[in-house]
Structures are given as C-alpha cells and as structure tokens.
Amino acid sequence: MDELDALFDSPLPENHRSGVVSVVGRPNVGKSTLINRILGQKIAIVSPKPQTTRKQQLGIYTDAQSQILFTDTPGLHRPQHKLGEYMVSVAQESLRDADCILWVVDGSVPPEAADIYIAETLNTLGGQTPILLVLNKVDLLATAQIDHQAAYTSLVASKQVLHVSALTGEGLEALLAAVHDTLPLGPRYYPPDQVSEANMRFIAAEVIREKIILHTEQEIPYSVAVEIDEYKERDEETVYISAIIYVERDTQKGIVVGKAGAMIKQIGSEARVELGEMLNARIYLELHVKVLKNWRSDPDLMRRLGYRMPDKSDS
C-alpha cells in the first residue's frame, strides 16, 4: 500500500477504503444514468431501450476517504441468443468479483419477473457479498404515491435500503456513504482525476451506437454493432474517426442509412457534436453501414466485434 501511495501527490488517511462495486439490475432501471450522475460526467451510454449496456464499464469515483470502482454491467436477463449469453456472463462475473453489490430497481413500480430473476441470482451468492438495495426514480414516487420497498426487500436480504434519483441526484450522498462503509481498507488504484479506464476508440463506438439506438425502433438497436476501424489525432485540435456500423439484414441497413441518407447523416451529426465536446476538438467522422448476417448468434463474429464468451474452464 505504501508503494502505491507513493505514486500520488498526497498521502492517504489510514482508514482509506477502496474496492469494486457491481451495479446490477434489470434492463432500463437507470444503472448507467446513476453511475454517470455519481461521476459527474458521462462514461456510459443511456437510452430508454433495454439492454443498452453490452460490456462491463468501469467508473472510478475518488474522494478523500475512498476510491470506489463502479462496474456498470449489462442488465441480467434470460438470454435469447449468443450475445444475450455474453451479456449475462459479464454481469454474473462482476458479481463474483465485487466487494459490494448495488441492486438498482425502479422504485416507482412493483417488482417484475426480471427483478425476481435477478433476486434469485443474488441469493445464490449466499450472503458473502454485502448487497445494498437502491430504489431509483424516487422523483416519480410523489406522483405515483406508492412505495414498493417491502416487495423488493422480501426478495433479497440487503444490508441497507437507499432511495435515490439518478436523474436529479437526490440521495447520492447517503448512497456513497453506505458504499464506503462496506468496502475494505485499501489504496487508490487509479489517479484521483481519472473517471474511466475506457479508451477513446471504445467511447467513440459507444457514442455512435447510442445515437443509433435513440433514432431507430423495433429490432434495429439490438442488431447493431459498431467497430472503429480508424482513429487518428491529426493535430492537437483535430481527430479523424472512421467507423463501421454492422447490422444483420439488408432491410436493417436501409433503415440505418435512411431515405437519401438522412438517418445516417443525423446519427453522424449528433455523434460528431458529442465527441467534439468530450475531446474539445474538431471531429471528422465517417460512417459506413455493412451487413454481417446473424452476428449475434455466431461466436466467431461476436469475438471479432469484441464480445468474447468465457471458456467453460473459466466458470
């Protein structure tokens, strides 16, 4: 610990805590929004559609007393294809490695079948990892005038129940204090100003995918993958990015491109603006749409696109 502390400018307090916090919950309960709010900036894409998060993403929160490594995992659900199996395996692995688990639920509605499925998964851990039940969307509770806390607490034995609004930030101070108390003593693993370990190629692909999700309907958001095939910093103020958008069928390609290219232009324009704000640079963005038939059900194609299923020996 002393060697790690020496890497940073100021010594850490003797009771400094650090650890990994796995954020789990059914799709579309606000996990990514919650982590973005805690960190004060966007590291995970957000949309109203379920199963937006596909890969585990690390958000790094640092204050004087702790460094909390939040893992934003894909929503636990019953998989329907190989990509779904990959997403569930990522989420389950994060549970095994966590020092604390945040089970995020939509506090404005009663438990759904997917919540019960997650509760069953959490109960298999045998109480070895502390679980904090986080009732999100409390900003909606005043309108609904319903508190579904008892229904959720009956599903899992949680160490504490917290009410938050990822949208407004309400309850986050209490949430961070509760997380801090569950973590072991430990050093900082990252510099205090670092909030993510994702590189810009990954972030650029995710921003582009977010814009596609927001502007398309039906099966399109779930059939899309984005690959950055070129990323160049031409100078201090200019970045060139070339990306390939993969879909599974020719009809899907037509939808993403749009009439006279209108849809792909809108996606590119919005992604260019957001990436420019992130990088404080002028962005030149080229998008190409290609068909990669049934890639979500083909392990080899999934691996090519960065979705590697764990080996059986790993489980």
pLDDT score at 94: 72
Euclidean distance between CA atoms 34 and 95, whole angstroms: 18
pLDDT score at 180: 96
pLDDT score at 141: 67
Phi, psi of 170 (to 5 degrees): -60, 130
**Does 313 have pLDDT greater than 50?**
no
Confidence of residue 50 (pLDDT cuts 50, 70, 90): very low
76 secondary structure, DSSP code: P
In DSSP notation, 143-186 reads HHT---HHHHHTTS--SEEEE--TTT-TTHHHHHHHHHHHSPB-
* CA atoms lying within 13 Å on the CB side of residue 258: 12
Tokens of 186: 């430990």
Q: Which of 18, 60, 12, 37 is nearest to 179 (CA)?
A: 18
Among 44-58, 61-75, 77-91, 185-199, the range scoring the smallest mean pLDDT is 44-58
**Does 210 have pLDDT greater than 70?**
yes
Instruction: Give the torsion through C-alpha atoms of 264, 268, 271, 272, to 10 deg.
Output: -170
Tokens of 103: 């089970």
Q: Where are the beta strands (DSSP E) in the chain?
A: 17-24, 57-62, 66-72, 100-106, 131-136, 160-163, 225-235, 238-247, 282-291
For the chain, how many residues are written?
315
pTM over 0.75: no
Euclidean distance between CA atoms 315 and 310, whole angstroms: 8
Euclidean distance between CA atoms 221 and 132, whole angstroms: 31
Domains along the chain?
A: 2-182 (3.40.50.300), 200-309 (3.30.300.20)
Instruction: Give the torsion through C-alpha atoms of 215, 304, 20, 208, to 10 deg.
Output: -20
Displacement of CA 185 from its chain's centroid (Å): 26
**Does 21 have pLDDT greater than 50?**
yes
130 secondary structure, DSSP code: -
**Does 267 have pLDDT greater than 80?**
yes
Euclidean distance between CA atoms 208 and 175, whole angstroms: 31
